[in-house]
Structure 1
Amino acid sequence: MTKFKKLTSALVVMTVLGACLPVSAAVQPNMAKVEERKARKTQIVGERVGKVLVSAFDLYNEEKLDEAIALLLNAKSSNEFDTATLNRFLGNLYATKDEKQAIKYLTLAVKPDVLTFADQSASMKLLADMLLQDKQYQAAIKAYEDWMMFTGEQNSDAYMRIANAYYLMDQHAKVLAPADDAIRFAPKPIEGPYQLKMAALYETKRYKELVAVVETMVQLFPENKQFWVYLGNFYTLTEEFGKSLSTLQLAYSQGYLEKDSEIRMLAQMYANNNIPYKAATIMEKYMKSGLVKKDKTNLTFIASNYQAAREFLKAANYYGEVAKLTNDADAYRRQGSAYSAVQKYNEAIAAYDKALSMNVDKPSGVYMSLVDAYFYQKKYKEAYAALMNAKKDPAMSRQVRGWESYIKDKAKQNGITL
């Protein structure tokens, strides 16, 4: 655990330092032009337009949004700066109620590029946000890139929104580069771009890269329970079942596995790693607590894993639970087999008889199991009767021949007439 903490700390430091390194990002602003924009002379709106803006702002503060919009719509000016400013205010007000109108007026506001640097920047960013909200994804991507070109800012949030737009357009391969830029330029590690990378890599079936990303996610954000579950699950996609189990065990020990599906995943990983006793007991524990549903699938899982662990009585009990719940003839057959394994022959016979009474598939196999159970109780007559029933199936002829003379000899030795 100490090594794990050191690795986590190192990765956090490297991620933060990465934002300071010279990199080639998707957007390459011309910083000389950015400085020119910042230095250009600030304009002031004319008196008439200024009064309209003050009145509109007062109406807005009084929560009279429609009246404020109507006042701005009626205002006209031949001055390009005044008109852009009016459109900017309209765009801001419409952003609270009508995306399409907001997009219309913000587009008009930024097009002439005459607003102050701060106002132009804010309007371009809001326009990009409105386009994304209106599901105009391709236009939103360009708007975010234009905003970063204008401001010269390598903005992590903008790159993340670009990555999200690509994901929402199902252009999953294009998600990765802006997501990487979002990671690179974040002042500290944030989850969003990693989650986008994870989703895109999963959709493109790039599973080894997917696992590497989620390994980083649990190291950077160890408190996020879901990331541990993702990693345990994704290791199965690369057939690294040992790593999947180790990850899920660690998550379980920290109390991160809280859902039915997560407990079942852990139990399945124990089974896949040939640890059937743990598979059965973990499922049993949470079935008794009520978290895991008591149904045929889960009961059979417990029974079969107890059987694989050679806990035959426990297996028999759970096969009995399955049989009672479902009236499944095969569950009775399996119960009989488990009882036979620990020489509980009377219980085994009862289970086999129940399976036969319910028209179990391949009854000849059940009859052969009855032969075993009766024979080892020295009930040769009953064993022979079961053998004759098995003999009706031609597929059993070889097994029947082997048993028939043997049972006859044993019966004769014991003075029993068949």
Structure 2
Amino acid sequence: MEVQASGHRRPAGRAKRDADVELHIELRAMKKTLATLSLFALLPLAGMPSVAAAEVNCEEPREASGSLSEFTYRRLTRIQEDIAEEKYSDAIEGARKLLPKVERNDYEKALVYQTEAFAWASQEDYKNAIPAFVKAIDLNALPQQQHEQMLNNVGQLYYAVEDRDSALKYLKRYLDETCSDPAPDAYILIASIYVDRKQYRSALPYVDKAIRARKDVPETWYQLKLAIHYEQKQFKQAAEVLVTLIANHPIKEDYWKQLSGVFLEMKDDPESLAVLALAGRQGFLDTEREIENLANVYLFLEIPYKAAQVLTDGMNAGIVDKTLESLEKLGTAWQMARENAQALSVFTEAAPLAADGRIWHRLGQIYIDDENWPKAEEALKNALAKGVNDRGETQLLVGVAAWNQGKTDQARSAFLAARNDSATKSQAQAWLAHLATEG
């Protein structure tokens, strides 16, 4: 992802890594939950068949394929206590010793595999947790809610061990088989997998579903959505996401800069100007490129005074270097704003930096506008000495400056030189004729 929006982009890879960090935090939270979770919350009463929760909205929700004996219930409770006390080896050993005793009851066997998986996951050994979860799922013996949760857990764990294909398989299966509202995190992980594959069109619907499903949307989810829109050059949608991010995080300067860049990509210069100007007032423009971007927009919209102010402030703050290019742009802005004194000061500083005489020529023009004939003549002669493309025009202006000082002979020489240029020939002849009538 290298398409730039005014130099400010949030790479899709970085947004995806943030989602990975969130998953790691979530898995750590799952570990803490498992450590304190009582099996009374997971297991039905001994001797009673288990049924799916009443609030599940499927017409035929999964039900437990059998019942739980008092013996198995007590053993599983003991294993869960070992997990809570972080005696993971004892818990795993207990689960494996229990398996042969429940061989004929798929429901009990699934619960044992599930509990073993919890023991592995609680110590962050996800590679061993996954097979135990999968065995529990494949028995197809657990009620709906536990079945859904295991599918989601397995998808997350596969993602954590970087088996993206398996993660996608189980997360999609979770979404297909859930009878309750899907966990928004599942959508985000699927989107992250598609982003990792650069399948941005496939990723976008899942990000949108995740955002709609949660009230307190994490900042990183919006960042992932923003990156997806950038990758597809969907600048209008990117702007909408940035507006949301700015509303939620108004002091984060990057979002202001990115929004301005998006508007520039959309060729919406007034909007870009408004955003950049507001960012500037809040002190968010802190690079030379950002300040020059704002000045360029002001110049494009024919607001040269503001452009000059922005550049001047940037130079005074030491952000914008006083190069020939930046000084010429500043002088141009002052000249367009009809602030000749400021333009003269800037062009005088810039003229020695130029390899040719174009800046001296511009100085001469401003001095002529101000009717400062001696300074105009001096500047224009400097322009000729350094070399200019429009020598005829420069010679003509030298003649005008000399004539206004009463230097008739010097004026005539300049007009004769200007007459040799086809672009200024007629004007030079007119001046020579005028001098002849005076003589």
Residues 159, 179 of structure 1: 8 Å contact kept: yes
The equivalent position to 1:321 in structure 2, one of 340, 346, 349, is 349
Letter in 2 for 1:203: E
Partner of 2:366: 338
Change (3 A) 1:130 1:307: farther
The equivalent position to 1:195 in structure 2, one of 198, 202, 223, is 223
Change (3 A) 1:124 1:352: farther
Partner of 2:167: 140
Partner secondary structure for residue 274 of structure 1: coil
Deviates more, 1:186-195 or 1:310-319: 186-195
How far 1:35 sits from its partner (Å)?
6.0
Name the TM-score, length of structure 2 as normaliser. 0.68
The equivalent position to 2:438 in structure 1, one of 405, 413, 417, is 413
Change (3 A) 1:352 1:224: same
* Residue-by-residue CA offset, 1:73-119 (whole Å, 9 max, x unaligned): xx786555445544554455465xxx777766665565445679888
Write the mapping of 1:1-12 to structure 2, written as runs, cut at 5 A: none
Residues 211, 235 of structure 1: 8 Å contact kept: yes
Partner of 1:129: 156
How far 1:36 sits from its partner (Å)?
4.1
How far 1:181 sits from its partner (Å)?
1.2
For residues 163 and 140 of structure 2, what CA distance do their matches in structure 1 show?
A: 22
Letter in 1 for 2:258: Y
Change (3 A) 1:178 1:204: same
* Residue-by-residue CA offset, 1:294-339 (whole Å, 9 max, x unaligned): 3333222211111111112322322233334454533333333333
* Residue-by-residue CA offset, 1:239-266 (whole Å, 9 max, x unaligned): 3322222233333334444444433333
How far 1:289 sits from its partner (Å)?
0.9
Write the mapping of 1:94-243 to structure 2, written as runs, cut at 5 A: 95=125, 107=134, 110-112=137-139, 124-133=151-160, 136-148=163-175, 149-150=177-178, 152-243=180-271
* Residue-by-residue CA offset, 1:22-48 (whole Å, 9 max, x unaligned): xxxxxxx97448964689856859969
For residues 64 and 293 of structure 2, what CA distance do their matches in structure 1 show?
A: 57
* Residue-by-residue CA offset, 1:133-152 (whole Å, 9 max, x unaligned): 55554543343333444473
Deviates more, 1:248-257 or 1:86-95: 86-95
Residues 84, 115 of structure 1: 8 Å contact kept: no
> Is 1:402 aligned to 2:427, yes or no?
yes
Give me the CA root mean square deviation: 4.2
Change (3 A) 1:385 1:111: farther
Letter in 2 for 1:140: A
How far 1:53 sits from its partner (Å)?
10
Partner secondary structure for residue 282 of structure 1: helix
Change (3 A) 1:407 1:38: farther
Residues 218, 228 of structure 1: 8 Å contact kept: yes
* Residue-by-residue CA offset, 1:338-382 (whole Å, 9 max, x unaligned): 333323333333333333333333434433333333333333322
Partner secondary structure for residue 321 of structure 2: coil
Name the TM-score, length of structure 1 as normaliser. 0.71
Change (3 A) 1:204 1:275: same
For residues 65 and 405 of structure 2, what CA distance do their matches in structure 1 show?
A: 102
The equivalent position to 1:268 in structure 2, one of 290, 293, 296, is 296
Deviates more, 1:32-41 or 1:158-167: 32-41
> Is 1:355 aligned to 2:383, yes or no?
yes
* Residue-by-residue CA offset, 1:211-245 (whole Å, 9 max, x unaligned): 34434443454444333333333223333322222
How far 1:278 sits from its partner (Å)?
0.7
Letter in 1 for 2:401: A
Residues 390, 400 of structure 1: 8 Å contact kept: yes
Residues 124, 143 of structure 1: 8 Å contact kept: yes
For residues 102 and 367 of structure 1, what CA distance do their matches in structure 2 show?
A: 87
Q: How many positions carry a matched residue from both structures?
A: 373
Higher relative contact order (CA 8 A, sep 6+): 2
Residues 62, 142 of structure 2: 8 Å contact kept: no
How far 1:180 sits from its partner (Å)?
1.8
Partner secondary structure for residue 397 of structure 1: coil
* Residue-by-residue CA offset, 1:182-222 (whole Å, 9 max, x unaligned): 22111234433333333323332333343344344434544
For residues 249 and 66 of structure 2, what CA distance do their matches in structure 1 show?
A: 44
Q: Percent identity?
A: 24
Change (3 A) 1:185 1:84: closer
Gaps of 5+ in 2: 1-54, 104-108
